[in-house]
Amino acid sequence: MCGIFSIFSRDGEPIPPQILHGSRHSLRELAYRQSGKQRHRGPDSTGVYVLPSEGVAMVHERLRIVGVERGDQPFVSEDGNLILVANGEIYNYLELSAEIAKRRGSYKPKSDCHVILELYKDYGKDLLQYITGMFAFALYDRRTKEVLLARDPFGIIPMYVGEDAAGNLWVASEMKCLVDTCGSKVETFPPGEARFGRVGDLKVSWQFEQPWLTEVPSQPCDLSLLRANLESAVRSHLQCDVQLGALLSGGVDSSLIASIATKIMRERDPTFRLKTFSVGLKGAPDFQAARNVAKYIDSDHKELVFEIDEALDGIRDIVYHLETFDVTTVRCSLPMLLLARYIKSTGIKMILSGEGADEIFGGYLYFHKAPNYQLFHEELVKKVQGLHLSDCLRANKVAMAKGVELRVPFLDTGFVNHVMQIRPEDKIPGPLNQFGGEQQNRMEKYVLRAAFADNYLPDDVLWRQKEQFSDGVGYDWIDTIRSVASSRVTDEEFSTAALRFPLNTPSTKEAFYYRCIFAEQFPGEAAAGTVRKWVPRLDWGCPEDPSGRAQAVHQVHKD
């Protein structure tokens, strides 16, 4: 995983000096400097490719994971007509490479993302239907002066686009590279979309579409098939040329991923021990569950115990890295930032995580309040479509802030399609008899747990109730950060919230505090418009506070 940055001239001509911040700066210097704001994403190398006469600059900040020796970007075709910068992992690149080699006689990819360039030669803008993975990329075709931009179906990989005063197109993995040059014309590039054409006339050329996006599914759950599909997803996500590890919070999601990965890796090496990591305050609810899993799967487990003050020190840093002021995301990310730094210090460059399971299985505790099957499924779809503004944004940007790649097997495209086609009555938690089902009080993510109910995890972890990460690191964490952030805002200041922030107006002092920090770093309504607040369904009778502890069904966990 890496960082990408590009500038594409509106008319295919040299960029005028005023856009280059004066004649003292070349296009290459500008591109290198702006991309430098996200250089944490690619600590291993920086690649720059510039075509001054065409007004094109493409930069790649690389974290070497696959194709360590040969995969530095930008990739340039042999004839010099195609240039590519890509961020992410193409999980079916080996199969694609074999097909390319069969068509051409021979082909050896420089890395997993190199197949994008080769597929464009064969299929043009239609290449998106062939690749599977997490990705965001920009490709420039010199022959036609056309650009292809694309992002994976669920927005696991971030990408922003902007337009400067002269109408030139700017592309970056992080918004911080664009806000001072594109001002009011910065936006989040939509997940599951590709745009193609000349600058100023880009048109949507591909969109991720599935029946479950618009229809309530009716397919009964097959536990054995569900299990096989998740195992397959994890297997594909293990492809890398560096040492790997896994986050292990002690919840069922991260625990299952760690357990499945261990079983797969031991097929190759029976002595393999996965390196697993947990973070929390002393006595955090997650620690004991994580220890139980680590012992059960015999992982090489490390715990990072943090103090509240050292996490609070990072509030401004985390808002800068996240590029959001959402309360839930900020709360979750501060302990994770400390853990990402620790993981990097151990030499690990790639980690597996359990993000995405709550969205596709209905794992959040507020789903117990779902009024009926249809609204339950519609809320799942809404949460999946918003992942790029919440969990995926947090997971990617926090890990990459310390130069660590984070992979999310639950969000494998094929696996998501399988789970989201399961009928809601098989996934919905709570008392089923109110909807005409059998009399029982089913816990959240029941089918996921049941599919692995033999020898993957200890029962007390497999059937442990959902504990949101910001709660699981220690209940004092949320209580303290809420109190400290609120104390930074006076009643008089808070009374001006609607006037000062008419867009996405903060509703609490804590939210107001984060918003003020965000506005200092990312001024303007365009930047604020890229943020979406993560809240439970208030119209279902849920409290506004996003903490899982605020939900009536929450059970207190103790270490």
Give 203-237 as a DSSP string. Answer: EEEEE---GGGTS---BPP-HHHHHHHHHHHHHHH
Domain with CATH 3.40.50.620 in the chain: 212-489
Residue ranges, comma separated, of all CATH 3.60.20.10 domains in the chain are 2-207
**Coil, helix or strand for 130?**
coil
pLDDT exceeds cutoff 60 at 475 = yes
Give the number of other Cβ atoms within 10 Å of residue 160's Cβ. 23
23 by Cβ neighbours in 10 Å (0-12 / 13-18 / 19+) ranks as exposed
Confidence of residue 196 (pLDDT cuts 50, 70, 90): very high
Among the residue ranges 86-90, 167-171, 253-257, 282-286, the one predicted with the least confidence is 282-286
**Percent of the chain scored above 90 by pLDDT?**
83
Query: What is the predicted pLDDT for the residue at 433?
Result: 47
Cβ contact 337:279 at 8 Å: no
Geometric angle at alpha carbon 476, from 504 and 283, rounded to 5°: 140
pLDDT above 90: residue 551:
no
Residue 534 confidence (pLDDT) above 80 = yes
pLDDT at 124: 97
- Residue 28 CA to residue 268 CA, distance in Å, equals 46
What is the percent of the chain with per-residue pLDDT over 70, rounded to a whole number? 93
Evaluate if residue 111 carries a pLDDT over 70: yes
pLDDT mean over 464-481: 74
2 is catalytic: yes
Mean pLDDT of the chain, nearest integer: 92
pLDDT value for 359: 97
Residue 434: what pLDDT? 47
E strands, 78-145, in order = 82-90, 133-141
pLDDT given at position 183: 80
- Using pLDDT thresholds of 50, 70 and 90, give the confidence band for residue 469: low
The per-residue pLDDT for 393 is: 97
| Residue 553 reports pLDDT greater than 60 | no
Mean pLDDT of the region 308-321:
96
Whether the per-residue pLDDT at 201 is higher than 60: the answer is yes
Cα 88-225-221 angle, rounded to 5 deg: 105
Nearest to 189 by CA among 143, 222, 158, 144: 158
Residue 435: the pLDDT is 45
Active-site residue, from 2, 177, 182, 392: 2
Q: What is the pLDDT of residue 4?
A: 98
Q: Which two tokens stand for residue 202?
A: 């880009």
Residue with tokens 């005409």: 436
Contact between 373 and 216 under an 8 Å Cβ cutoff? The reply is yes
Res. 432: pLDDT tops 80 = no
Total length of the chain:
559
Rounded CA separation 547/536 (Å)? 9
Residue with more model confidence, 536 or 31? 31
Average pLDDT over residues 102-126: 94
Decide: 137 and 4 in contact? Cβ < 8 Å: yes
Please list, in sequence order, all residues whose beta carbon lies within 8 angstroms of the beta carbon of residue 177, skipping any fewer than 6 positions away.
Answer: 5, 34, 35, 37, 38, 160, 170
For residue 439, what pLDDT is reported?
42
C-alpha dist (Å) from residue 230 to 14, 223, 295, 396, 538: 49, 11, 22, 21, 32
How far apart, in whole angstroms, are the C-alpha atoms of residue 50 and residue 85? Answer: 12
CATH code 3.40.50.620 for 212-489: yes
Q: What is the pTM of this model?
A: 0.94
Q: What is the pLDDT, as a whole number, of residue 21?
A: 59
The CATH fold of domain 2-207:
Glutamine Phosphoribosylpyrophosphate, subunit 1, domain 1 (3.60.20)
pLDDT (tens digit per residue) in 51-88:
999 999 999 999 999 988 889 999 999 999 999 999 99
Give the mean model confidence (pLDDT) for residues 218-238.
Answer: 97
pLDDT for residue 554 is more than 50: no
